[in-house]
């Protein structure tokens, strides 16, 4: 049985770090990441499929987050999940992101996330690439826990500014410009972000694969590239389920 508080990395995982875009943003992809990812999917489910009613149920603490732009529901993982996972990931993260610095990695947030918003109900900001924080000392991790063509992760350059990462000094220029551009290009709204559009050019795309993790600086422009032909539904064993973490990089 999977212990959600003590995840174990797969001994045969495969990790690759690539410099992406003009700004050479490091993006790490880890295949076969966890030793027992299927049991993490089971942790998300309150029960298995109800045979009589042919429905699936979720852990009861999956809910919409107020103030969050994530197009779905989230369930917090135990605090120890992030701590234990990062202890094991630390050598890979140091090689890929520390660049010779002595760094300790601290989990800020760890959730299970399930996309369930129909494209026509998206808010304008949910149709565009985003960044998680302007900090340069923070990473984001996404672990795919689904099969099928439900969407990977895209990385982007904002065409008019050339920005691929949004820092605090850049935000004052970027935010009002993007708002004006989005109002002038309303045709790109009301749908999930694709590989590119009139405002953003692609720098990289990571295909989804079960038990594949993607790690990147949280201030880079990115988006889940969800399939606009899919009616995303709220079911743990058939939907776009991911594990997500925000990671603080503390220099010591």
According to the 3-state scheme, what is the secondary structure of the chain? CCCCCCCCECCCCEEEEEEECCCCEEEEEEECCECCHHHHHHHHCCCCCECCCCECCCCCCCECCCCCCCCEEEEECCHHHHHHHHHHHHHHHHHHHHCCCCEEEEEEEEEEEEECCCHHHCCHHHHCCECCCCCCCEEEEEEECCCCCCCCEEEEEECCCCCCECCHHHHHHHHHHHHHHHHHCHHHCCCCCCCCCCCEEEEEEECCCCCCEEEEECCECEEECCCCCCCCCCCCCCCEEEEEEEEEEEEC
Alpha carbons within 13 angstroms on the beta-carbon side of residue 84 total: 13
Residue 66: its pLDDT value, please? 76
Residue 51: its pLDDT value, please? 42
- CA dist 234 and 211 (Å) reads 20
User: Which one, of 151, 154, 153, 209, lies nearest residue 32 by Cα?
Assistant: 209
- CA dist 195 and 27 (Å) reads 17
User: Which one, of 52, 47, 28, lies nearest residue 236 by Cα?
Assistant: 47
Residue 50: its pLDDT value, please? 46
Domain 14-251: which CATH number of 2.60.120, 3.90.550, 3.40.50, 1.10.287? 2.60.120
Residues of the chain whose pLDDT is less than 50? 1, 48, 50-52
- CA dist 143 and 40 (Å) reads 11
Residue 5: its pLDDT value, please? 64
pLDDT in tens, 79-89: 889 999 999 99
pLDDT in tens, 192-232: 888 888 999 999 999 999 999 999 999 999 999 998 888 88
Residue 1: its pLDDT value, please? 45
What average pLDDT does the chain have? 89
Do residues 243 and 77 make contact, with C-beta atoms less than 8 angstroms apart? yes
What is the value of pTM for the model shown?
0.92
Do residues 164 and 174 make contact, with C-beta atoms less than 8 angstroms apart? no
Residue 56: its pLDDT value, please? 61
- CA dist 174 and 171 (Å) reads 5
Alpha carbons within 13 angstroms on the beta-carbon side of residue 240 total: 24
Residue 3: its pLDDT value, please? 63
């Amino acid at each position: 049985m999977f212990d959600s508080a003590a995840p174990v990395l797969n001994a045969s995982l495969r990790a690759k770090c690539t410099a992406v875009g003009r700004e050479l943003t490091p993006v790490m992809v880890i295949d076969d990441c966890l030793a027992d990812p299927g049991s993490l999917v089971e942790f998300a489910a309150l029960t298995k499929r109800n045979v009589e009613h042919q429905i699936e149920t979720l852990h009861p603490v999956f809910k919409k987050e107020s103030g969050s732009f994530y197009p779905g529901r989230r369930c917090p993982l135990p605090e120890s999940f992030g701590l234990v996972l990062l202890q094991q990931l630390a050598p890979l993260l140091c090689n890929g992101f520390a660049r010779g610095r002595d760094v300790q990695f601290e989990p800020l947030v760890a959730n299970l996330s399930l996309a369930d918003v129909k494209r026509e109900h998206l808010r304008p900001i949910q149709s565009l690439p985003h960044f998680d924080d302007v900090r340069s000392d923070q990473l984001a991790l996404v672990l795919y826990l689904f099969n099928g063509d439900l969407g990977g992760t895209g990385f982007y350059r904002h065409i008019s500014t050339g920005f691929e990462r949004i820092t605090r000094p850049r935000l004052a220029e970027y935010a009002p410009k993007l708002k004006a551009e989005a109002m002038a290009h309303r045709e790109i709204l009301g749908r999930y972000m694709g590989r590119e559009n009139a405002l953003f050019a692609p720098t990289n795309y990571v295909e989804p694969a079960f038990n594949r993790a993607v790690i990147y600086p949280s201030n880079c422009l990115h988006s889940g590239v969800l399939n606009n032909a899919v009616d995303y539904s709220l079911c743990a064993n058939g939907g776009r389920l991911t594990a997500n973490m925000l990671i603080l990089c503390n220099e010591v």
